[in-house]
Amino acid sequence: MRQDNPFVIAADIGGTHVTAAVVDTQNWQVVNESLIRYGVNSHADAKSILSAWSIPFQEIIRHRAASAISTIGIAMPGPFDYENGISHMRNQDKYDNLYGMDIRMELAERLGLSGTSIRFINDAAAFLQGEVFAGKHHGHPKVLGITLGTGLGSAVWVRGNNAMDADLWKTPYRDSNIEEYLVTRWFVRKAAQQGIDVTGLRELLQLRNKHTVITDILAEYSDHLLHFIAFFSEQEATDRLIIGGNISNAWDIFRAFNPTAFDRFDIRISQLGEHAALIGAAAQFA
């Protein structure tokens, strides 16, 4: 049921930041002047993390007091108990110190809201939901979503239903799982094996002209990504995919290593950026 107030505070929590904004659920748009991005140390103690997460919400609530916005939708990485608001993140290179905590009540207490005012959705599902709602993809019976960043997100949208987390990050692959080959830490590890010290893909790309081996690293990543797309597409019997996340900004580079193979799929790169997950998170109250 739609809320009386069409405005919802939405947030997208990532491995290094939290982005929050007001979303107009009548027009499916982010109110740009409300957007706040705040850095978070995901390896800090629980109190520090929760305090950092709370700051953008507190800022928005204070500045939008006249609007009386009291609902918050949060796009959260997994593993997470989205219905009950319990963090199950462990050994994900982020937020280990929140394991087992009731995040809903922790945030509600800090913000002076009731727990029922806060809802969680998987970040990949939120991304896909936002792309479908605001990106005009309703004409397809089924769309798959992939987010590539500090974690691997996967989601499925079927016409007439909300997007759902596909939870494919733990799919066995080679000596580990598929996530370990598609996220930021993979680039860091591969570069370190070649004596190159970087914190992520962006730095790696800046060094391409200095280290020829970086081209090999990018080509290998392209192969891993192609494998996952083919696996996901076959499993869900659709070739329509939307890819987002920070790593997707280098899509043209990865596609160039396997153009014919990638072009077998109908792949779109997110045009909404971080707004997609915010809109998808807000949609929980629409």
Are 195 and 244 part of one and the same domain? Answer: yes
Confidence band, pLDDT 50/70/90 cuts, at residue 5: confident
Are 279 and 193 part of one and the same domain? Answer: no
Min mean pLDDT across 147-156, 222-231, 258-267 is at 147-156
Domain membership of residue 134 (yes or no) is no
Beta bridge partners of 262: none
Are 264 and 280 part of one and the same domain? Answer: no
CATH at residue 105:
3.30.420.40
pLDDT of residue 3: 57
pTM of the predicted structure, to 2 decimals: 0.84
The 10s digit of each residue's pLDDT in 7-20 is 999 999 988 889 99
Q: What is the residue range of 40's domain? A: 7-125+275-285
Q: Which of 82, 230, 81, 237 is nearest to 158 (CA)?
A: 237
Determine how β-strand 172-173 pairs with β-strand 176-177. Answer: antiparallel
Percent of the chain with pLDDT over 90: 81
The answer to whether the beta carbons of residues 211 and 194 sit under 8 Å apart is: yes
Let me know the angle formed at the C-alpha of 78 by 76 and 81, rounded to the nearest 5 degrees. 85
**Single-letter residue type at 89:** M
pLDDT of residue 9: 96
In three-state form (DSSP H/G/I as H, E/B as E, the rest C), the secondary structure along 217-254 is: HHHHHHHHHHHHHHHHHHHHCCCEEEEECHHHHHHHHH
Domain membership of residue 132 (yes or no) is no
Prior bond of 79 cis (ω within 30°): yes
Are 114 and 145 part of one and the same domain? Answer: no
The 10s digit of each residue's pLDDT in 23-68 is 999 888 999 999 999 999 999 999 999 999 999 999 999 887 656 7
pLDDT at 1 over 50: no
Domain membership of residue 164 (yes or no) is yes
- Report, as an integer, the average pLDDT of 179-193: 97
Number of structural domains found in the chain: 2
Are 159 and 249 part of one and the same domain? Answer: yes
pLDDT of residue 85: 97
The 10s digit of each residue's pLDDT in 258-274 is 999 999 999 999 989 88
Distance, in Å, from the CA atom of 3 to the CA atom of 8, rounded to the nearest integer, reads 9
Are 54 and 70 part of one and the same domain? Answer: yes
Domain membership of residue 133 (yes or no) is no
Are 158 and 237 part of one and the same domain? Answer: yes
Are 149 and 260 part of one and the same domain? Answer: yes
Percent of the chain with pLDDT over 70: 98
- Report, as an integer, the average pLDDT of 64-79: 84
Domain membership of residue 241 (yes or no) is yes
Are 263 and 279 part of one and the same domain? Answer: no
Domain membership of residue 73 (yes or no) is yes
Confidence band, pLDDT 50/70/90 cuts, at residue 2: very low
The answer to whether the beta carbons of residues 25 and 9 sit under 8 Å apart is: no
Distance, in Å, from the CA atom of 107 to the CA atom of 129, rounded to the nearest integer, reads 24
- Identify the sign of the CA torsion 127, 128, 133, 136: positive
Are 258 and 182 part of one and the same domain? Answer: yes
The answer to whether the beta carbons of residues 244 and 266 sit under 8 Å apart is: no
Domain membership of residue 2 (yes or no) is no
Are 109 and 193 part of one and the same domain? Answer: no
Distance, in Å, from the CA atom of 88 to the CA atom of 91, rounded to the nearest integer, reads 10
Domain membership of residue 56 (yes or no) is yes
CATH at residue 235:
3.40.367.20
> Is the model more confident about 136 or about 147?
147
pLDDT of residue 266: 96
Are 111 and 78 part of one and the same domain? Answer: yes
List, in order, residues 6 or more apart from 162 with CB less than 8 Å away. 125, 129, 283
The mean pLDDT value of the chain amounts to: 93
Dihedral, CA of residue 255, residue 260, residue 261 and residue 262, to nearest 10 = 40
